[in-house]
A = this chain, B = another copy of it.
Amino acid sequence: MKALILQQIHQPLEYGESTDPVGNKETVVVKLMAAAVNHRDVFITQGLYAGIQTPVILGSDGAGEYRGRRVLLYPALEWGDQTTHQGKRFRVLGMPENGTFAEQIAISRKNLFPMPEHLDWQQGAALPLAGLTAWRALFSRCRLKKGEKVLITGIGGGVALMALQFALAAGAEVTVTSGSDEKLEKARTIGAHHTANYREEDWDKRLKKSVGAFDVIIDSAAGDAFSLLVGLASPGARIGIYGGTLGKVGGLSLQPVFWKQISILGSTMGSPQEFGKMLKFVGQHRIITIVDSVFDLKDGNAGLERMDKGEQFGKIVFRV
C-alpha cells in the first residue's frame, strides 16, 4: 500500500510503498479514505516528543471503510479501566503503532465507531482526536451547563473550534480569543457570540467589562497569560487546560484561585465511552466539522508545514 512514512526525525515524511497490514485475532484492516493532521504529528517529526520510534506511519485521525460500513477510528489504544485518567499502557494512535497516513490500517475492532451519517469522509476524518479532546475538557472535566458563559482561547486550532461548536450546541454563551482578527471574524460566522484579540492592550479588562466573568474557560496556551484567565474566571469557575503552547505558567497568584473556588482541570484525549458520546452528540446536533484545507496524501508534508505555521482555521485533512 501507499503511505507517508517518517524514516527519521527532522526529515520530511516519505510517500512510498509500505507492507500491507494484516489483521489477526484482535485486529481488522480498515481501508482509509481520509486522515487529519494534529500538532502531535508535527511535534514528532521535529523530535519534540517522548519515546519516538522510527520508521513509523504517523496519523491519529482516520475515516474509512470496514465491510461496507463507514467508520471513524477511536484515536488511541488501551485507555484503561479508569474514567478519571488513562492507564499506563495508553498510547495515542500513530506511533509507536502505525497510524492513519496510509491507505490501510490494522486496528482493534474496539476502535471502530460508526461515522455520523451527515459527514463526508474529510469532515469525518477531522473529528476524532480534536472532537474527543474538546468533549472531555468541556463536558467531562468542566461540566459545562446550558446558559453558562464560556471562553475559548486560540480559536482556529482543531480542538478550540470543536469546543466552540460543542459549546454552542449545548446552549452556552461563547467568547473566543485569537491574535488574528481574520480568525475572530470567521469564528463569528460559525456562531461565536463575542470575540477578543489578545494582542490588544487590556483585552481581558475590556472583555470582563463587556461580557462579564466566565463560568468555563478552555485553554491550551498556559504561559504567563494564564493569570489573565484566572482573573476572567467567575466564582466557582472551571478552567480546562489541554495544552501549553506558551510554555510554563509564571507569576500566578493562587489567592483568586482559592477565594473564587476555581478548579483548574488538566485534560487529555478521552476514553472510548467519551468518544461514543461525542459522536452521538455530533450526530444529534448535526455538527459539521471545520476543514481548513485538504491535501492529497502524497503532499502530506505541505499539510504539516501549514500546521507548523499556525495559519489554519480548522483541521488540515489528507485525502487518501
Chain A contacts to B: CB under 8 angstroms = 82, 84-86, 141, 222, 226, 235-236, 241-244, 247-268
Count of chain copies: 2
* Residues A255 and B244 in contact in the complex (CB < 8 Å), given A85-B260, A235-B85: yes
Interface pair B82/A236, CB less than 8 Å apart: yes
How far apart are the CA atoms of A107 and B103 in the complex, in Å?
A: 74
| A255 to B251 alpha-carbon distance, docked (Å) | 17
Distance from A145 Cβ to chain B, minimum over Cβ atoms (Å): 11
Contacts of A264 in B (CB 8 A): 257, 263-266
Q: Is the CB of A268 within 8 A of B263?
A: no
Chain B residues with Cβ below 8 Å from A85 are 235-236, 260-261
- A/B interface sample: 6 pairs, CB < 8 A: A84-B236, A84-B261, A85-B261, A244-B253, A249-B251, A261-B266
- A259 and B262 alpha carbons, distance in the complex (Å): 20
By the criterion CB–CB under 8 Å, are A261 and B267 in contact?
A: yes
Residues in B neighbouring A257, C-beta threshold 8 A: 241, 264, 266
B253 touches A250 (CB 8 A): no
List B contacts of A268 (CB < 8 A): 258-259, 261
The A contact surface, by secondary structure, is loop
Is A251 touching B248 in the complex (CB atoms < 8 A)? yes
Q: How far is the CB of A271 from chain B (nearest CB, A)?
A: 11
Indicate if the CB atoms of B235 and A86 lie closer than 8 Å.
Answer: yes
Q: In whole angstroms, how far apart are the Cα atoms of A259 and B50 in the complex?
A: 12
Chain B residue with Cβ nearest A226 = B254
By a CB distance below 8 angstroms, the chain B residues around A226 are 254
Highest count of chain B CB atoms <10 Å: which of A82, A243, A249, A267: A249
> How many angstroms from the CA of A241 to the CA of B251 in the assembled complex?
16
Chain B residue numbers with a CB within 8 Å of A266 are: 254, 256-264
Chain B residue with the shortest CB-CB distance to A227:
B248
- Nearest chain B CB to A255 CB, angstrom units: 5
Chain B residues with CB below 8 A from A248, complex form: 251-254
CA distance A251 to B254 in the complex (A): 14
**In whole angstroms, how far apart are the Cα atoms of A244 and B267 in the complex?**
24
Q: Given A248-B251, A265-B263: A258 and B242 within 8 A (CB)?
A: yes
Please tell me if the beta carbons of A254 and B249 are within 8 angstroms of each other in the complex: yes
- Residues of B near A254 (CB, < 8 A) are 222, 226, 241, 243-244, 248-249, 266
- Nearest-Cβ distance from residue A276 to partner chain B, whole angstroms: 19
In the bound complex, residues from chain B placing their C-beta under 8 Å from that of A251 are 248-250
**11 extra interface residue pairs, beta carbon distance < 8 Å, beyond A241-B257, A252-B252:** A82-B236, A141-B263, A244-B254, A247-B253, A248-B252, A249-B253, A256-B266, A258-B266, A259-B268, A261-B267, A264-B264
Bound-state CA distance A253–B241 (Å) is 12
